[in-house]
């Protein structure tokens, strides 16, 4: 009699595992986080609900003046926008088998150039905001294209060159800020003009003051454009072929070098948009000497989403919810805010183990098949 392993059945075949393994990773991380809260003597259910309350997904018990669940949700969308762009940037590079670890540097370079050229200008909003988007995408594409060119021309590993460029960008931007752009109080770059900012800050609507992210619309459009590129365009097919086997792609007549540069240019353009929506949107200035973690977190977020645009849409939203809700969780539950970062780290750690989970599932399925074969053989002998 054939026995079914409910877990293996639930996880499904390799195609279904693209969805079930990330869900498994999230559940395991939430369970591990629950253990942490229990050890601290806190109720994990209350803690997880407070993440949703702090991010504006469910209502809080009370709100300050001119604040509501809607204002919290807008703040969440504002923070989500650069993470979504950065994660798409990583996914585009991975499509061709490249690892763009330089997203944070590309974000910072794009943020600086857009700030200097447009952020302090007297351009009206109708001119300044589109210029910020275009300049940031162009700068990000140029920086990342250099990485692709070095890979193509001299086979320099893209991870090494990206790390080196990160350092160059970090210290160059820091020098410019400290020398020419520093705010004497905050020691960061001076705040940009409201006309160039990609978030409408403290906008009063219906008696509420909220931050309205303009870039989120562009980010959602980018998700579907990248999905169309991956699934419907010849260029996307060439990217996937190169990522699977560069030698076979070259033998098939695909210009591998050209496509590597194009891949990194597209990845860099998305990273530049992440920089625009972070430094000239969500944050409003640039902190010297610091590469923000968004570009590095985006690598794990992309892995959690299986480098699929729709998967990234969901995984980046989840990580942003935890990040934004951690402040309210800290005040409600009475634990340090860093626990939120721990939960995020656990999710990303389990997500990185996706290949190992797939191996265990396949191994379990093979053992079950072998056991069933032996059982069937005994029944036949009887």
What average pLDDT does this structure show over 272-298?
A: 92
State residue 18's pLDDT score: 74
- Write out the two tokens for 182: 């520093």
Greater confidence (372 vs 51) lies with 51
Greater confidence (73 vs 16) lies with 73
Whether pLDDT at 107 is above 50: yes
Q: How far apart are CA 323 and CA 77, in angstroms?
A: 12
What average pLDDT does this structure show over 367-382?
A: 67
State residue 8's pLDDT score: 66
Highest average pLDDT, of 43-52, 234-243, 267-276, 348-357, comes from 267-276
b or e along 178-194 (b: 16 or more beta carbons within 10 Å of the residue's beta carbon)? eeebbeeeeebbbbbbe
What average pLDDT does this structure show over 72-100?
A: 94
What average pLDDT does this structure show over 290-310?
A: 88
Q: How far apart are CA 108 and CA 110, in angstroms?
A: 5
Percentage of the chain modeled with pLDDT above 90 = 48
State residue 353's pLDDT score: 76
Tell me how far apart the terminal alpha carbons of the chain are, to the nearest angstrom: 14
State residue 3's pLDDT score: 47
122-139 confidence digits (pLDDT tens): 999 999 999 999 999 999
Phi, psi at 299, each rounded to 5° = -65, -50
Which element (helix H / strand E) includes 203? strand 199-205
Whether pLDDT at 57 is above 50: yes
> If pLDDT is split at 50, 70 and 90, which confidence band does 248 have?
confident
- Write out the two tokens for 228: 């169309």
Domain ranges for the chain, please list them: 20-54+322-345, 68-307
State residue 12's pLDDT score: 67
- Write out the two tokens for 298: 């985006």
Greater confidence (381 vs 15) lies with 15
**Average confidence score pLDDT of the chain:** 88
H runs (alpha helix) in 233-353: 234-244, 246-251, 256-277, 294-304, 309-329, 338-352
> If pLDDT is split at 50, 70 and 90, which confidence band does 379 have?
low
> If pLDDT is split at 50, 70 and 90, which confidence band does 334 have?
confident
State residue 205's pLDDT score: 86
State residue 195's pLDDT score: 93
State residue 217's pLDDT score: 94
Q: CA angle at residue 15 from 11 to 19, to 5 degrees?
A: 55
State residue 25's pLDDT score: 82
> If pLDDT is split at 50, 70 and 90, which confidence band does 362 have?
confident
What average pLDDT does this structure show over 180-194?
A: 89
All residues at 6 or more sequence positions from 24 whose CB lies less than 8 Å from its CB, including other chains: 11, 350, 357
State residue 60's pLDDT score: 87
State residue 2's pLDDT score: 45
Whether pLDDT at 269 is above 70: yes
């Amino acid at each position: 009699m054939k026995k079914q392993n409910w877990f293996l059945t639930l996880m499904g075949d390799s195609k279904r595992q693209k969805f079930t393994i990330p869900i498994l990773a999230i559940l395991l991380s939430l369970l591990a986080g629950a253990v942490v809260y229990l050890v601290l003597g806190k109720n994990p259910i209350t803690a997880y609900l407070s993440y949703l309350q702090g991010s504006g997904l469910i209502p809080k018990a009370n709100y300050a003046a001119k604040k509501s669940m809607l204002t919290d949700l807008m703040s969440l969308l504002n923070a989500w926008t650069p993470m979504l762009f950065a994660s798409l940037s990583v996914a585009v590079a991975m499509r061709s088998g490249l690892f763009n670890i330089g997203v944070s540097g590309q974000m910072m370079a794009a943020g600086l150039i857009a700030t200097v050229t447009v952020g302090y200008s007297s351009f009206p909003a109708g001119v300044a905001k589109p210029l910020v988007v275009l300049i940031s995408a162009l700068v990000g594409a140029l920086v990342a294209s250099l990485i692709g060119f070095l890979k193509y021309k001299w086979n320099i590993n893209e991870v090494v060159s990206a790390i080196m460029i990160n350092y160059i960008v970090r210290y160059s931007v820091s020098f410019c800020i400290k020398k020419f752009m520093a705010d004497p109080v905050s020691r960061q770059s001076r705040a940009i003009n409201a006309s160039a900012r990609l978030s409408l800050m403290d906008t009063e609507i219906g008696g509420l003051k909220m931050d309205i992210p303009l870039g989120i619309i562009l980010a959602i459009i980018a998700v579907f454009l990248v999905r169309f590129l991956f699934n419907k365009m010849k260029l996307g097919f060439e990217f996937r072929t190169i990522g699977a086997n560069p030698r076979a792609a070259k033998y098939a007549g695909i210009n591998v070098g050209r496509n590597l540069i194009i891949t990194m240019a597209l990845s860099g353009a998305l990273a530049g948009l992440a920089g625009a929506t972070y430094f000239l949107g969500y944050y409003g200035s640039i902190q010297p000497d610091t590469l923000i973690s968004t570009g590095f977190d985006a690598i794990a977020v992309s892995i959690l989403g299986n480098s699929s645009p729709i998967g990234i849409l969901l995984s980046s939203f989840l990580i942003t919810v935890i990040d934004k809700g951690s402040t309210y969780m800290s005040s409600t539950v009475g634990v340090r805010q860093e626990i939120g970062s721990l939960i995020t780290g656990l999710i990303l750690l389990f997500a990185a183990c996706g290949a190992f989970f797939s191996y265990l599932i396949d191994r379990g399925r093979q053992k079950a098949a072998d056991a069933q074969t032996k059982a069937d053989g005994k029944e036949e002998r009887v």
